[in-house]
């Protein structure tokens, strides 16, 4: 299976390496009515960048840097304008979040949370409840930790439970091959899907959420600002709905054929005993994380007390925006000691450097840069006109959002959701602005839709991780993923987001 994935990726990269430059050259030399020279040149550069983001002949972060560099070389923008967004305040919200996540992983706090959920009395040894508990552990952890890291942590736990089930059934005289066992397939898929679903809960849960907030600030500064608390309101609702759909579909498609998994709770309790009591590092991480959450939600609390436009709220937002709040909490990790005699801190410089996903920061900076240029060169107006012609002269908000959500979802199935949102995020927001459609529900819906790539192993790292177990036939992943994707986008994302965002933001 890994070999099949490798062949697919190699073909995709080779095709992209050839098609990307060809598309750029063709667009560069084609006369396009209504486009200024900078917008025309940007369109050609974006064709190259878009193809390479999707096919990844070079790392997508390098493609982002290449796009900004080409914009300067060919006169689309000055170096200041092309690279200014690599220091966007949202970058530091990313950085602070990465450091907090690294501290959770280094000090074992994420694993303790997962085991704690699995050990709850209501779980017991019921396969359905264990199935549910695995999913809950995944969504709660991935709301704050990356879906890849969460899946890497939960994957061996799921494997351990399945091995316990296999041994129990062997003792009862029933030999089970986990690679051809329905419940094993379902538990693997639940582990992967729940890790992606949990990311929609918070702005820092998955990269697309923060990226869309950054695009919104940059491309639609006149739009209402989305706070951390605002996102959690609709993110939590959508996460619960996504999870219910995934649970029902998977438990229906892959039911267990036993009522109890003897020894499951014993295994979990043993894991908890191995962790021991809370360490100083875990306590410090909880403290730093609590500081971050408090600073993120404090503006909403102050808004309730004093009013959204009060001097108190304005003062706090000016002096402690969300990016700075993340950095304050992250920096605490380098000052809170775990051993005063040895002088060791909760997070070391080495762990901190390794904990920051520099590739994502470069990718995000490049996406913001390209998005801003789409708007300033007038390319967004041309794209908006094309979409208006395609959807009708006065496309409804519902139709517009549905169109971009479906396109984003399809892209996230064949490439990473980060690459998909980096391309579609800026286009959707800038086009919405040019058409007079509120960009806030567009941004939120497109971000959430990008997290619904469940059909293929290449769609998202958790899918690839569980696929490599050999317990997930590709046909089963496609079938279950298609059902959840369809219900998720058309039944939840578009209607719920439109209603919730309008209710919360008043847009």
The pLDDT value given to residue 2 = 47
The DSSP bridge partners found for residue 339 are 344
61 plus 97 within the same structural domain: no
The pLDDT value given to residue 308 = 61
Host domain of residue 71: 1-76
CB under 8 Å to 265, separation ≥6 — which residues?
119, 123, 124, 125
Tokens read off for 332: 């605490």
CB under 8 Å to 187, separation ≥6 — which residues?
130, 131, 134, 158, 161, 162, 254
The pLDDT value given to residue 248 = 93
322 in a structural domain? yes
CB under 8 Å to 77, separation ≥6 — which residues?
38, 71, 373, 376, 377
Angstrom distance (rounded) from CA 178 to CA 495: 39
335 in a structural domain? yes
Of the candidates 461, 441, 448, 458, which has an alpha carbon nearest to the alpha carbon of residue 409? 448
Angstrom distance (rounded) from CA 52 to CA 58: 7
The pLDDT value given to residue 21 = 93
364 plus 284 within the same structural domain: yes
234 in a structural domain? no
Q: Buried (b) or exposed (e) across 450-473, using 16+ Cβ within 10 A? A: bbbbbbbbbbbbbbbbbbebebbe
315 plus 345 within the same structural domain: yes
92 plus 45 within the same structural domain: no
193 in a structural domain? no
173 in a structural domain? no
The pLDDT value given to residue 217 = 81
370, 401, 425: which is the final residue of a domain? 370
Angstrom distance (rounded) from CA 82 to CA 366: 8
64 plus 8 within the same structural domain: yes
Angstrom distance (rounded) from CA 454 to CA 483: 9
341 plus 360 within the same structural domain: yes
140 in a structural domain? no
Could you tell me where the DSSP H helices lie in 199-321?
207-219, 228-253, 264-275, 280-306, 311-319
Q: How do strand 344-345 and strand 337-339 relate by DSSP bridges?
A: antiparallel
323 in a structural domain? yes
DSSP for 110-160, please give it.
HHHHHHHHHT-TTTTT-HHHHHHHHHHHHHHHHTTS-HHHHHHHHHHHHHH
Of the candidates 417, 492, 444, 489, which has an alpha carbon nearest to the alpha carbon of residue 223? 444
98 in a structural domain? yes
The pLDDT value given to residue 366 = 80
Tokens read off for 487: 């219900």
15 plus 90 within the same structural domain: no
Do 386 and 33 form a contact (C-beta atoms < 8 A)? no
Do 218 and 425 form a contact (C-beta atoms < 8 A)? no
Intra-chain end-to-end CA distance of the chain, in Å = 47
26 plus 100 within the same structural domain: no
285 plus 355 within the same structural domain: yes
96 plus 64 within the same structural domain: no
Q: For the chain, give percent helix, strand, coil, nearest 5.
A: 75, 0, 25
Do 430 and 371 form a contact (C-beta atoms < 8 A)? yes
309, 335, 370: which is the final residue of a domain? 370
Q: What's the chain's Rg over C-alpha atoms?
A: 23
Angstrom distance (rounded) from CA 417 to CA 151: 16
100 plus 34 within the same structural domain: no
57, 76, 95: which is the final residue of a domain? 76
283 plus 357 within the same structural domain: yes
Do 109 and 286 form a contact (C-beta atoms < 8 A)? yes
Of the candidates 440, 227, 439, which has an alpha carbon nearest to the alpha carbon of residue 317? 227
Number of domains in the chain: 2
Per-residue pLDDT of the chain (507 residues; tens, 9 = 90+): 545 556 667 887 898 899 999 999 999 989 888 788 888 999 899 889 878 877 778 887 888 899 899 999 998 889 988 898 888 777 787 788 778 878 877 887 777 776 776 677 776 667 788 788 888 888 888 887 777 777 777 777 777 777 777 766 676 666 666 677 788 888 889 988 998 898 888 887 787 888 888 888 877 778 777 777 888 888 888 899 999 999 999 989 888 777 766 666 677 778 778 878 889 999 998 899 888 878 877 877 787 787 667 788 788 878 888 778 888 988 999 999 988 888 889 998 888 887 777 877 787 778 778 777 877 887 767 766 676 677 666 667 788 888 888 888 887 776 667 777 877 777 888 888 877 888 888 888 888 888 888 877 767 778 877 877 778 887 888 889 889 988 888 888 778 777 777 666 665
């Amino acid at each position: 299976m890994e070999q099949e994935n490798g062949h697919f990726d190699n073909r995709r990269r080779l095709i992209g390496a050839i098609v990307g430059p060809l598309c750029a050259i063709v667009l560069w030399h084609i006369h396009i009515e209504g486009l200024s020279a900078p917008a025309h040149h940007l369109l050609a550069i974006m064709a190259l960048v878009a193809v390479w983001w999707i096919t990844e002949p070079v790392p997508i972060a390098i493609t982002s840097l290449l796009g900004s560099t080409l914009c300067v070389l060919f006169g689309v923008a000055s170096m200041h304008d092309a690279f200014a967004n690599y220091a966007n305040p949202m970058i530091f919200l990313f950085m602070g979040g990465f450091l907090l996540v690294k501290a959770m992983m280094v000090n074992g706090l994420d694993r303790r949370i997962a085991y704690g959920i699995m050990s709850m009395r209501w779980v017991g040894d019921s396969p359905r409840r264990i199935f549910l508990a695995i999913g809950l552990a995944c969504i709660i952890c991935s709301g704050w930790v990356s879906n890849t890291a969460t899946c890497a942590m939960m994957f061996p736990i799921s494997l351990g439970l399945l091995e316990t089930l296999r041994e129990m059934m062997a003792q009862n005289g029933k030999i089970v091959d986990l690679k051809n066992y329905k419940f094993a397939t379902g538990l693997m898929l639940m582990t992967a899907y729940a890790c992606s679903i949990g990311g929609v809960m918070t702005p820092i849960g998955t990269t697309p959420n923060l990226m869309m907030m950054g695009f919104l600030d940059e491309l639609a500064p006149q739009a209402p600002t989305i706070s951390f608390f605002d996102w959690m309101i609709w993110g939590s609702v959508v996460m619960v709905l996504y999870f219910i759909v995934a649970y029902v579909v998977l438990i229906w498609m892959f039911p267990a054929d036993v009522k109890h998994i003897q020894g499951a709770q014993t295994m979990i309790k043993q894991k908890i005993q191995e962790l021991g009591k809370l360490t100083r590092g875990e306590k410090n991480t909880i403290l730093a994380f609590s500081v971050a959450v408090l600073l993120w939600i404090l503006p909403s609390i102050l808004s309730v007390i004093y009013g959204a436009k009060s001097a108190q709220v304005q003062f706090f937002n000016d002096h402690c925006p969300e990016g700075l709040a993340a950095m304050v909490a992250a920096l605490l990790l380098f000052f809170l000691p775990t051993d005063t005699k040895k002088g060791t801190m909760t997070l070391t410089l080495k762990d901190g450097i390794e904990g920051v996903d520099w590739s994502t920061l470069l990718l995000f900076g490049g996406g913001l840069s390209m998005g801003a240029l789409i708007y300033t060169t007038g390319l967004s107006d041309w794209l908006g006109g094309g979409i208006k012609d395609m959807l009708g002269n006065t496309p409804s908000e519902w139709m517009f959002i549905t169109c971009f959500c479906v396109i984003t979802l399809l892209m996230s199935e064949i490439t990473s959701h980060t690459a998909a949102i980096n391309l579609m995020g800026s286009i959707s927001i800038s086009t919405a602005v040019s058409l007079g459609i509120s960009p806030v529900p567009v941004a939120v819906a497109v971000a959430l839709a990008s997290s619904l790539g469940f059909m293929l192993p290449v769609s998202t790292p958790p899918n690839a991780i569980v696929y490599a177990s050999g317990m997930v036939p590709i046909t089963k992943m496609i079938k279950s993923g298609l059902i959840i994707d369809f219900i998720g986008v058309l039944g939840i994302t578009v209607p719920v987001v439109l209603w919730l965002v309008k209710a919360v933001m008043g847009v």
